[in-house]
Amino acid sequence: MLDIQFIRENKDLIELASKKKHITFDVDELLKVDDKRRELLTSVEKKRAEQNEATKRISDKAVTAEERTFIISEMKELKESLSAEEEKLKEVVAEWQRLMVQVPNIPDMSVPEGKDDADNVELKTVGEKPAFDFEPKSHIDLCQTLDLVDFERGTKVSGFRGYFLKKDAVRLSFVLWNYFLDFFAKHGLETMMAPALVNREAFIGTGFLPQSEEDLYKTQDGQYLTGTAEVPVMGYFQGEVLDKSELPKKILAFSPCYRREAGSHGRDTKGLVRVHEFYKLEQVTLCEASHEESVKHHEAMNALTEAAMTELGLHFRTVLNCGGDLGLGQVKKYDIELWVPSENTYREISSASYFHDFQSRRLNIRYRDEEGKMRFVHSLNATAIPTPRILVALFEQYQNADGTITVPEILRPLFGKEVIGK
C-alpha cells in the first residue's frame, strides 16, 4: 500500500506504474473517493466536537433549566445528523480501502517494458549446458523408469496434478532441504518453520489479496493455504515496532505450500513443474527504509540462491523481469531459471523481489530511526529452493545414457551414494 498523500501528489506516477505493470487501475476514482472521505471526516470531527461542547454546557451549573432544555433539543438533532454521517463515512472508508489495496507500487526505472515473462531480459548464464551423446529423457520418463514418482496414483488420491514421491526422490528432497538450510545458515539467516494456514490479513498485507484470490485454497473458517512462507513470515511481524539494531532481519523459512494454479489451465499438466502441493524454503529480509539498502539486499539475496545452484553444478540463467511480469507490490524482480534439456528451455526456480514499504505499510511493521521517528521497514523476499520442482532440472541435467542419475557431488556425503538407479 502506498501513502495516500504520495498518491495525490504523484498521480501521474501511479498511472505510469499501472501502464507498465499492465494493471487496470483508475486513480481518479480513488482520489474522488478520498475527497469524499476527507470531507465527511472533517464534518464528523466537527460535529463530535460540537457534541462534546454541548455536553459540557449541560453540566455547567450556571446554565438555566430553560437553556439546558434548548441545548438538549439541539443535541438531539446533532446526534441524528452525526449518526447519519458516521454511517456514510463507514461506507466511504470501506470503498476507499478497497481501492487503496489495488494501487500498484512504482517499479524501478531499470525494469524493462514488457507484457509477460516472454519479455524478461536475460542478464547472465552460469555454468555449461550439459552435453549428451544420447537423446536426453524427460524427468517424467526418468522418474517412472526408476520408480521415483507415481503420478497415476497421485491423481487417484489427490486429484489433478497429484503425485507421490518415492524412494530416492524422497531421500534426495530431504538432503536438498538440509543442504540449503546449512548453506543459508552459514550466511547468517535465521531459520523458521512457518505455518501454511494463514489468516486473510497477512495475504492482504503482502499483496496476494484481493488480486490473486482465485489461485488460493480457502478453508471453511475463512483462512487460506499459502503458496509461500513470505506470507506467514511477514504476518509474524504484523503490528510490531522493531529496534533499529535488529535490522536487517534475515530469515530462511520452510513451509508446505499450496497453489490452485487457476491461471495456468493447460500448462504443464504433467510432471513436477506445476503442482498444487509442494515445499519451499524462502528468504525474507526486513531492512531500513532506504532504497539503497533494499537494492543491496535484493542483489545479495539473489546472489545467495545463485551461489547455491552453482554449488549444485546446475546450469542456469538469471533474468530481469519486465513490468508486466511484476506483481502489484514488487518494485523489481529477478528470476533464476534452470536449464531443462528435454524441453530445450529454461524453467523458473527462484524469484527475488523487493517492495520498499508497500507490504510493511499494510501490515504496520515499523522501527524507530536515529532521530526517534517511526519508519516503515522495507521488505524483500527470494526463493531459496522449491521442491519437488528443482528435481526436474537436477534429474535431467545429471542423467546418464543408461537411464540412471548421477547425484551432484556436493550432496553425496548427505545422500550416501553417487548414482540413483544402481
Q: What is the arithmetic mean of pLDDT over 185-191?
A: 95
pLDDT above 80: residue 46: yes
Percent above pLDDT 90 for the chain: 84
- pLDDT at residue 97, as a whole number: 93
Show the 3-state SS of the chain: CCCHHHHHHCHHHHHHHHHHHCCCCCHHHHHHHHHHHHHHHHHHHHHHHHHHHHHHHHCCCCCCHHHHHHHHHHHHHHHHHHHHHHHHHHHHHHHHHHHHCCCCCCCCCCCCCCCCHHHCEEEEEECCCCCCCCCCCCHHHHHHHCCCEEHHHHHHHHCCCCCEECHHHHHHHHHHHHHHHHHHHCCCCEEEECCCEECHHHHHHHCCCCCCHHHCEECCCCCEECCCCHHHHHHHCCCCEECHHHCCEEEEEEEEEECCCCCCCCCCCCCCCCCCEEEEEEEEEEECCCHHHHHHHHHHHHHHHHHHHHHCCCCEEEEECCHHHCCCCCCEEEEEEEEEHHHCEEEEEEEEEECCCHHHHHHCCEEECCCCCEEECEEEEEEEEEECHHHHHHHHHCECCCCCEECCHHHHHHHCCCEECC
Handedness of CA 350, 355, 356, 358 (dihedral sign): negative
Residue 138 is among the residues annotated as catalytic for this protein? no
CATH classification (class only), 4-100 = mainly alpha
Residue 351 is among the residues annotated as catalytic for this protein? yes
- pLDDT at residue 263, as a whole number: 61
Mean pLDDT of the chain: 93
Domain edges within the chain: 4-100, 117-420
pLDDT digits (tens, 9 = 90+) for 228-246: 999 999 999 999 999 999 9
pLDDT digits (tens, 9 = 90+) for 146-158: 999 999 999 999 9
Residue 50 is among the residues annotated as catalytic for this protein? no
- For 117-420, CATH gives 3.30.930.10
- pLDDT at residue 51, as a whole number: 79
Residue 259 is among the residues annotated as catalytic for this protein? yes
What are 41's three cell numbers?
471526516
48, 274, 317, 412: which one is catalytic?
274
Residue 1's pLDDT band (cuts 50, 70, 90):
confident
pLDDT digits (tens, 9 = 90+) for 109-145: 999 999 999 999 999 999 999 999 999 999 999 999 9
pLDDT digits (tens, 9 = 90+) for 60-70: 766 667 676 77
pLDDT digits (tens, 9 = 90+) for 66-112: 676 777 777 788 888 888 999 999 999 999 999 999 999 999 999 99
pLDDT digits (tens, 9 = 90+) for 369-403: 888 899 999 999 999 999 999 999 999 999 999 99
85, 337, 348, 396: which one is catalytic?
348
Q: What is the arithmetic mean of pLDDT over 197-211?
A: 93
pLDDT above 90: residue 249: yes
18, 294, 342, 351: which one is catalytic?
351
- pLDDT at residue 282, as a whole number: 98
Q: Can you give the pTM of this predicted structure?
A: 0.91
Residue 274 is among the residues annotated as catalytic for this protein? yes
161, 259, 347, 366: which one is catalytic?
259
